[in-house]
Structure 1
Amino acid sequence: MKYAIITGASKGLGEAVAKRLIREQIAVVSVSRTENKEIKSLALEQGIDYKHFSCNLSLEKEVQEVFMEIAHCIFQKNPQEILLFNNAGMIEPIQKVGHLDQTPVIGNIQVNLIAPILITNLFFSKAQLTNTKVTVVNVTSGAAVRSIEGWSVYCSSKAGLNMFTQTAAIEQAEMNNNNTIIAFSPGVMDTNMQETIRSSNKEAFKDLDQFKEYKEKNMLLQADVVANALVDLVLGGNVESGRVYNIKELLK
């Protein structure tokens, strides 16, 4: 059986991906600070194996402990394939350099970059011992490839995630195994992250009016549309390891 692990599964893109995968009869492990009851109910209704783990991805020790437990639970079931969606993300701090607070800076790097690295490392390591195929999807951003005033930390962490993805893909190919790792840029979606952006300060983020306009003019992508495109890509069997995919390519 296929198993999917989804971080940040309680809302937004993570929730939409989880629901789609359950409908595809893929077992789901949800990871977030709070559990989404709709996902749990859908899994029960569909008769699909589902488990939720509470985890604060900004805490390194907690990430290590929780994902060791998840790996133990899944690998003992001899899965056909493991799909790992490193989806959880943090936009804060939205502030110019020189006015940044240390705590949110560290939290951003922990959630957006360090957690995906640690989780991917663990599952690639375990896969070597069991011959299980692991497919990793790192959710990135267009901010990884362009500078946005007020988003220095977010841009940097997502750029780092892209480079980690590309480097890990080269390494896995050299090892001649079946593992695949990609990054996926979902575009501007109607999620809680957008609410956070719209509630920021214009002195810290000069593009604030533009992001408010996205909402006012219904220019934001719906999470389920993006999730369906991503899942179609992953389940389609033609994923190019190391590639950074953009939602615009998939919705053509």
Structure 2
Amino acid sequence: MGQRYFIITGTSKGIGKQLAELLLEKADYVYGISRGASDLEDAYERYQHVQFDLADIHSIDDLVSSLLEHIPLKEVEFIGLINNAAMLEPLKPIDQCIAEEISQQLEISLAAPMILTSSFIQYTNHLTTRRKIVNVSSGSGSYPAPSMASYCTSKAGINMFTQCVAMEQSGQANPVEVIAFDPGMVDTELQAVARGKSAEEFALSEVFGQVYEAGQLRSPQDVAKQLIERMEEISDPSKVLHTIEG
């Protein structure tokens, strides 16, 4: 049986870290990308961490190229890209957002996954290996919310982007499977940031607080397990948007 390799963004915490740990425990190889450091490198010899700011979109192609050069592609049975990293802020009405905030949000949450996907497909097109891309989405991509215009827009973009790429790949000899996965409301730092805002600044902060207090947030580990299940099953190219069950 061949080896499985995964490139995952946002592995320093939350869903990304849990995903990496679960895959590493299955004896898979993981390359993690995040702005922050990671303690996974000390715990797992199959884990390699790359500190990288995804807002630096012009360097992403070189990053993907260099990562794939380290992978023994001829021995690989499955290679996956999980676009998990996202930025929640700015959480305020759009007329209070400045250009830099909007730009950084869209670069990290939408442009970076698009460029990662482009480079990943381009540099693995010569392979006969099974390839899959999972874009972590959100209900915010379908349901508008005040003070969340940038985040909702980037997640709506992720959903549309995923559908477009799936259509492009459907006619290829060895198509890349691509899905978007909505994890629901998860107990992560993004949720804590939303709860911590004042009601004046972020109208929905109280709602986020109530969901947390009521114990309705899913654990990152449960979400990671379900994401791995979706990743391992063969994707239907006509059905690429997935919401979490249960």
Give the TM-score range, shorter chain. Answer: over 0.9
> 4+ runs of 1 displaced by more than 3 Å?
75-78
Aligned-pair identity in percent equals: 30
- What's the secondary structure of 2:181's corresponding residue? strand
Match of 2:236 among 219, 237, 240: 240
Once the two structures are TM-superposed, the CA of residue 12 in structure 1 deviates from its matched residue by 0.1
The letter of the residue matching 1:238 is I
CA contact (8 A) 2:65 2:123 kept: no
* TM-score normalised per structure 2: 0.93
Corresponding position of 1:170:
167
Counterparts of 1:65 and 1:128, CA distance in 2? 17
CA contact (8 A) 1:19 1:42 kept: no
1:65 maps to 2:62: yes
CA contact (8 A) 1:140 1:162 kept: yes
Counterparts of 2:236 and 2:199, CA distance in 1? 39
Corresponding position of 1:13:
15
Once the two structures are TM-superposed, the CA of residue 136 in structure 1 deviates from its matched residue by 0.3
Once the two structures are TM-superposed, the CA of residue 79 in structure 1 deviates from its matched residue by 2.0
CA contact (8 A) 1:67 1:119 kept: yes
1:79 maps to 2:76: yes
1:4 maps to 2:1: no
Tell me, which stretches of 5 or more residues in structure 1 are unaligned? none
Counterparts of 1:62 and 1:122, CA distance in 2? 11
Tell me, which stretches of 5 or more residues in structure 2 are unaligned? none
- What's the secondary structure of 1:28's corresponding residue? strand
1:89 maps to 2:86: yes
Provide, for residues 142-199 of structure 1, a one-character-per-residue CA deviation record: whole Å limited to 9, x for no partner. 0000110000111111101110100100110122323100000111111110111112
Counterparts of 1:96 and 1:75, CA distance in 2? 48
Corresponding position of 2:95:
98
Once the two structures are TM-superposed, the CA of residue 78 in structure 1 deviates from its matched residue by 4.1
Corresponding position of 2:209:
212
How many residues were matched structurally?
Answer: 243
| Aligned CA-pair RMSD | 1.5
CA contact (8 A) 2:35 2:51 kept: yes
Counterparts of 1:181 and 1:221, CA distance in 2? 24
